[in-house]
Amino acid sequence: MSDDIKKGLLGIIVDETEISKVMPEINSLTYRGYAAQDLCARCDFEEVAYLILNKELPNKKQLKEFKKELSKEITLSKNLIDILKKIPKNSHPMDVARTAVSVMGLEDKETKDNSPKANLRKAIRILAKTPTALSAFYRLRKGKKTISPKKNLSFSENFFHMCFGKVPNKEIVKAFDVSLILYAEHSFNVSTFTARTITSSLSDIHGAITGAIASLKGPLHGGANEEVMHMMKKIKKPENALKWITKALKNKDVVMGFGHRVYKSGDSRVPTMREYFKRVAIIKKDKTFEKIYDIVEKVMIKEKNIYPNVDYPTGPTYHLMGFDTDFFTPIFVISRITGWSAHIMEQHAANKLIRPLASYKGNKHRKVIQLNQR
Active site residues: 221, 260, 311
Which of residues 180 and 224 has its CB atom nearest to ligand CMC in the complex?
A: 224
Contact region with ligand CMC (CB under 6 A), list: 56-64, 172-180, 258-266, 280-288: 258-266
What is the dihedral angle through the alpha carbons of 29, 34, 38, 42, rounded to the nearest 10 degrees?
-140
Q: Does 222 bind ligand CMC (CB under 6 A)?
A: yes
Q: How far, in Å, CA of 272 to CA of 276, rounded?
A: 7
Q: Does 259 bind ligand CMC (CB under 6 A)?
A: yes
What value, to the nearest 5°, has the Cα angle with vertex 158 and ends 340 and 104? 45
Which of residues 40 and 124 has its CB atom nearest to ligand CMC in the complex?
A: 40
Q: Residue 21: beta bridge partners?
A: 30
Q: Write b or e for each residue in 162-187: b if 16 or more Cβ atoms lie within 10 A of its Cβ, otherwise e.
A: bbbeebbeeebbbbbbbbbbbbbbbe
Q: How far, in Å, CA of 249 to CA of 253, rounded?
A: 6
Q: Does 339 bind ligand CMC (CB under 6 A)?
A: no
Which of residues 214 and 306 has its CB atom nearest to ligand CMC in the complex?
A: 306
Q: Does 221 bind ligand CMC (CB under 6 A)?
A: yes
CA atoms within 13 A on the CB side of 159: 28
Shortest CA distance to 15 belongs to which of 235, 261, 192, 234?
192
Which of residues 168 and 222 has its CB atom nearest to ligand CMC in the complex?
A: 222
Q: Does 159 bind ligand CMC (CB under 6 A)?
A: no
Q: Which sign does the torsion angle of CA 155, 158, 163, 168 carry?
A: positive
Q: Does 306 bind ligand CMC (CB under 6 A)?
A: yes
What minimum distance in Å lies between the beta carbon of 311 and ligand CMC? 5
Q: Where are the beta strands (DSSP E) in the chain?
A: 20-23, 28-31, 34-35
Contact region with ligand CMC (CB under 6 A), list: 43-51, 89-97, 239-247, 303-311: 303-311
Q: How far, in Å, CA of 113 to CA of 108, rounded?
A: 10
- Whether 181 and 40 have beta carbons less than 8 Å apart is answered as yes
Contact region with ligand CMC (CB under 6 A), list: 108-116, 130-138, 232-240, 248-256: 248-256
- Whether 289 and 319 have beta carbons less than 8 Å apart is answered as yes
The secondary structure of 95-146, three-state, reads HHHHHHHHHHHHHCCCCCCCCHHHHHHHHHHHHHHHHHHHHHHHHHCCCCCC
Q: Does 226 bind ligand CMC (CB under 6 A)?
A: no
What minimum distance in Å lies between the beta carbon of 254 and ligand CMC? 4
Which of residues 151 and 304 has its CB atom nearest to ligand CMC in the complex?
A: 304
Q: Which of 48, 310, 321, 331 binds ligand CMC (CB under 6 A)?
A: 310
What is the dihedral angle through the alpha carbons of 37, 41, 45, 46, rounded to the nearest 10 degrees?
-120
Q: How far, in Å, CA of 323 to CA of 97, rounded?
A: 16
DSSP 57: -
- Whether 74 and 95 have beta carbons less than 8 Å apart is answered as no
- Whether 347 and 205 have beta carbons less than 8 Å apart is answered as no
Q: Does 315 bind ligand CMC (CB under 6 A)?
A: no
Q: Which of 58, 149, 207, 257 binds ligand CMC (CB under 6 A)?
A: 257
Which of residues 58 and 222 has its CB atom nearest to ligand CMC in the complex?
A: 222
Q: Does 260 bind ligand CMC (CB under 6 A)?
A: yes
Interface characters, 182-211, with ligand CMC (x: CB under 6 A)? -------x----------------------
Contact region with ligand CMC (CB under 6 A), list: 37-45, 48-56, 122-130, 309-317: 309-317
Q: Does 220 bind ligand CMC (CB under 6 A)?
A: yes
Contact region with ligand CMC (CB under 6 A), list: 46-54, 256-264, 316-324, 366-374: 256-264
Which of residues 82 and 303 has its CB atom nearest to ligand CMC in the complex?
A: 303
Tell me the residue nearest to ligand CMC as measured from the CB.
259
Q: In this structure, which amino acid lies at residue 37?
A: Q
Binding site for ligand CMC (CB under 6 A): 8, 189, 220-222, 224, 254-261, 304, 306, 309-311
